[in-house]
Amino acid sequence: MSAPDLQTTVLLTGLMSLVHALVLALIYRISPRYPGVDRWSLGSTVMASGCTSLALFGLPSSPLMSLVVALLMLAGTAILHDGLARFLDAAPACRRRALTLVALPTVVLLLLFAPADHSLFAHTATGALGVGLLLGHCAWLLFRRPPPYLGLAAQFTSLAMGAFAVLLVGWVMWAGVSGGTTGTSLLAAWTSGFLALLVGGSLWTAGLSAMLVQRILFELRESEAEYRTLALESTRLHEAAELRAVEIERLATVDPLTELSNRRHFFARAEQELTRARCSLAPAAVILLDVDHFKRVNDTYGHQAGDVVLRGVAATCRASLRGTDLIGRYGGEEIAILLPGTNPSDAERVAERVRASIAGMQMVVGEHRIGVTVSMGVALAAQAHEYAVDALLARADEALYHAKQSGRNQVVVNATAALLEASPAEQHQGIGF
């Protein structure tokens, strides 16, 4: 009556081992290819084949059959051990030690016991000892060096493997001491052993699966954190690139000393404004400003004082203009201003306001207080042929020249454009030059 119980137990154990192999293979297939996980499935498959062989042929009555079953169970455990060591990133020397110190000596002993009179017990005890030692080393690896993210899953698997290893090694020691080699006691030992394997194998397979899931979840969290870090870094780099682009554009368009538009940028923007004005024949004015006796300031107080004067003049001009007006450093101590939509009388008033503001300034340079004046020439456009930037600036430069020749610190309006709005009496008398 005992043999069918053993056969049923072994068959259930074999089927369960096969289920374990399929579950591990499925997890391995749908998850990242972690090292060693494929060996878990292969080891369970080899152990299932050993159980199946025993279930099909019953309790082995020949030394060859008991040898085959013992070798299959040992091989399956060795493969499982190798897979676990690889999964835990154990050193290759660790895997080799388990093979040379446990697996190979066990195989040698199994072969040596093949012709013995009590080979059935010898194979059972030797195979159980080898399997127990390998599982014990698996439990030790999980206990000694589990990655932190495995947590309770590693402890649970270590406990399941360690308990089964202690059971096997303890049975071998007890059998050796008590001489349990009779058929009845051996049959009971086989039945108990496979029942323990059925339970223990299920437990550590569940633990291995949980470990694999823990590793997947951990790497997903790591990937998410890395993605967030990369996203933040990308945003930072993008913002830095935008700031750099703004800075490059500013350097390309702004005069570094006065922080006004540089000559090239002023010409480009003035051309756009005058093109729009020409389409509707809207009035526009250009003012060209020059600091009086600027060379004398540099020679008397130094070039740093000249820089202070230019910055002060530029700031005063900017504060006296509208947001739609354009202003730029024309060259040296000259500043150009474009007043869109401004008629001649308003343009002259704006220029006079700027001149008076600058004349009333006192610029502090060290212990010195420097007062400066400016001369200004104004040119106006009111007809289609007068909206060219170069032409307007040339006429404004002529007016500026007359302001310099007339004693400086004054505004001169180009008479050609001014007469467009002048009354008949003013046209007869003339405005500017």
Q: pLDDT by residue (tens digit) across 232-263?
A: 999 999 999 989 988 888 888 999 999 999 99
CA distance 190 to 124: 8
> For residue 420, what pLDDT is reported?
45
Q: Which residues contact 155 (CB under 8 A, 6 or more apart)?
A: 142, 143, 146
Is the confidence at residue 367, as pLDDT, over 80?
yes
Token pair of 258 as six digits: 């006065």
> For residue 385, what pLDDT is reported?
66
* Residue 335 pLDDT class (50, 70, 90 cuts): very high
Q: Is-contact 381 283, C-beta < 8 A?
A: yes
* Look-up of token digits 């969290």: 221
DSSP type of residue 332: T
CA distance 12 to 54: 11
* Residue 211 pLDDT class (50, 70, 90 cuts): confident
> For residue 1, what pLDDT is reported?
40
Share of the chain above pLDDT 90, in %: 32
By CB atoms closer than 10 A (0-12, 13-18, 19+), residue 381 is: buried
Alpha helix segments (H runs only) across 31-144: 37-57, 63-87, 92-98, 104-112, 119-144
> For residue 191, what pLDDT is reported?
67
CA 152 to chain centre: 31
Is the confidence at residue 355, as pLDDT, over 60?
yes
* Residue 188 pLDDT class (50, 70, 90 cuts): low
* Residue 124 pLDDT class (50, 70, 90 cuts): confident
> For residue 72, what pLDDT is reported?
86
CA distance 161 to 171: 15
Token pair of 358 as six digits: 């600058």
DSSP letters spanning 375-399? EEEEEEE-SGGG--HHHHHHHHHHH
Average pLDDT over residues 220-229: 89
CA distance 142 to 145: 6
CA distance 139 to 155: 9
Average pLDDT over residues 286-307: 94
CA distance 265 to 203: 78
Average pLDDT over residues 375-403: 88
Token pair of 200 as six digits: 């223990």
Domain boundaries, the chain: 2-228, 263-429
Mean pLDDT, the chain, whole residue set: 82
Give the chain's length.
433
Q: Which residues contact 139 (CB under 8 A, 6 or more apart)?
A: 157, 158, 159, 161, 162, 165
Average pLDDT over residues 384-409: 90
CATH architecture classification, 2-228: Up-down Bundle (1.20)
> For residue 430, what pLDDT is reported?
38
> For residue 60, what pLDDT is reported?
56
* Look-up of token digits 């800075």: 247
> For residue 7, what pLDDT is reported?
64
Highest-confidence segment of 64-68, 163-167, 274-278, 311-315: 311-315
Q: Is-contact 274 388, C-beta < 8 A?
A: yes
CA 302 to chain centre: 52
CA distance 239 to 242: 5
Whole-angstrom CA distances from 162 to 49, 195, 396 are 23, 16, 99
* Look-up of token digits 């058929």: 183
Closest CA to 179 of 122, 224, 132: 122
Closest CA to 125 of 177, 176, 86: 176
Closest CA to 259 of 182, 304, 316, 212: 316
Is the confidence at residue 402, as pLDDT, over 50?
yes
Residue 34 φ then ψ, to 5°: -75, 145
CA distance 110 to 50: 15
> For residue 426, what pLDDT is reported?
41
CATH class, 263-429 region: alpha beta
Average pLDDT over residues 344-367: 92
Alpha helix segments (H runs only) across 254-302: 263-280, 294-301
> For residue 4, what pLDDT is reported?
45
Token pair of 3 as six digits: 């043999």
> For residue 418, what pLDDT is reported?
45
At residue 25's C-alpha, the angle toward residues 20 and 31, to 5°, is 125
* Residue 354 pLDDT class (50, 70, 90 cuts): very high
CA distance 16 to 8: 12
